[in-house]
Amino acid sequence: MPKQIIISGIDVAPGESKQVNLNIASLPSRTPIDIPVNIFRSEEDGPTVLLMAGMHGDELNGVEAIRQMIAKKMLKPKKGSIIAIPLLNVYGFLHFSRQVPDGKDVNRSFPGSKTGSLASRVAYCFMKEIFPHVDYAIDFHTGGGSISNYPQIRCSFDVPKVKELASVFATHFVMNAKLRDKSLRKEFTKSKKVMLVYEGGEALRLQEFAVKSAIRGAMNVLSFLSVIDKAQNTDNKPIIINEDLWIRARSAGLFRTDIRNGSRIKKGDIIGSITDPYGEYKTSVKSSHDGYIVAVNHQPVVNQGDALIHIGIE
């Protein structure tokens, strides 16, 4: 028998589709902050898959990907249920910011607390209302700051079920990523549920390559789990990245690169340069390893030690 899904006191029966608002708190102006949650249910029993984005409020490619999937009516399950949350951190979205207004990161605040800081209240509300219903989740992110991530899934290779689903998503890279304390992914792992973190593009941009890859991956996962009736698009065989490292700035100045994100590089290849702003100094930046470029920093003004290029090693 299909399970019961009650969110914010609203019962969504099998075969129904509803939008439910999660009320977190209010803005100082008294404007309530609601998080719209879309629930799409089939009559037939099956897994519940969560698609969510905007946990970091300035990371918009995933918001756009879920928006398009809803607008194009791509989330009609033939089996099980789909819960779609296009924007979890409304506060950050309004402030073009990763965090909530007190500077805390929702993804470092799980499982949250009813009476804690705002970030911790958002986490608590999610854990109470959404988490218990979910079997599988895809959480859509972009690089933080001015880092542009080439489309990639981050997951823990220690859990075979998770690694398998990451390959099914079939984006460019699958990266082994350690669990971070107080992250949502850690809560999923503790409960033996499967969660993939997608990273594509950079914050405060809408980038078609990252949005398309997010949608294709979500459809691949939903179809693999037999939740939707669509052939998988698995032309992409992801490159498996076991280790990763950052090439950092050895001197401060202006960083420039015309290296192609996602491309293969060899140890010793010149991947950019750093100059002073006055035409007196120039040094080249070289790769320290063979590997793939999985992310590039697009902020040209750098201090010593700043992350420039993220390299993934197969």
Binding residues (CB under 5 A) for Zn ion: these are: 56, 59, 141
Q: Name the minimum Å distance from CB 56 to Zn ion.
A: 4
Would you say 118 and 102 are in contact if contact means Cβ atoms under 8 Å apart? yes
Query: By Cβ distance, which residue is nearest to Zn ion?
Result: 141
Of 219, 216, 226, 73, the residue nearest 151 (C-alpha): 216
Q: For residues 53 and 274, which CB has a smaller minimum distance to Zn ion in the complex?
A: 53
β-strand pairing of 264-265 with 307-313: unpaired
Angle at which helix 208-224 crosses helix 160-169, to 10 degrees, equals: 120
Q: For residues 47 and 145, which CB has a smaller minimum distance to Zn ion in the complex?
A: 145
Residues shown for the chain: 314
- How many angstroms separate the CA atoms of 11 and 16, rounded? 10
Q: For residues 41 and 56, which CB has a smaller minimum distance to Zn ion in the complex?
A: 56
Of 307, 309, 311, 5, the residue nearest 134 (C-alpha): 5
Between the alpha carbon of residue 55 and those of residues 77, 141, 147, the distances in Å are 24, 8, 17
Q: For residues 112 and 200, which CB has a smaller minimum distance to Zn ion in the complex?
A: 200
**DSSP assignment, residue 143?**
E
Q: Please, which contacts does 255-258 make with residues 24 or more away whose CB atoms are closer than 8 Å?
A: 255/285, 255/297, 255/299, 255/300, 255/301, 255/302, 255/306, 255/308, 256/300, 257/285, 257/296, 257/308, 257/309
Q: Name the minimum Å distance from CB 1 to Zn ion.
A: 37
Q: Name the minimum Å distance from CB 131 to Zn ion.
A: 18
Q: Name the minimum Å distance from CB 107 to Zn ion.
A: 7
- Token pair of 238 as six digits: 């992801």
Q: For residues 59 and 64, which CB has a smaller minimum distance to Zn ion in the complex?
A: 59
Identify the H or E element spanning 153. Answer: strand 147-155
Q: For residues 58 and 239, which CB has a smaller minimum distance to Zn ion in the complex?
A: 58
Q: For residues 79 and 205, which CB has a smaller minimum distance to Zn ion in the complex?
A: 205
- How many angstroms separate the CA atoms of 137 and 268, rounded? 39
Q: Name the minimum Å distance from CB 63 to Zn ion.
A: 11
Would you say 268 and 288 are in contact if contact means Cβ atoms under 8 Å apart? no
Q: Name the minimum Å distance from CB 226 to Zn ion.
A: 29
Q: For residues 53 and 70, which CB has a smaller minimum distance to Zn ion in the complex?
A: 53
Amino acid at 209: F
Q: Name the minimum Å distance from CB 132 to Zn ion.
A: 24
Q: Name the minimum Å distance from CB 223 to Zn ion.
A: 26
**DSSP assignment, residue 256?**
E
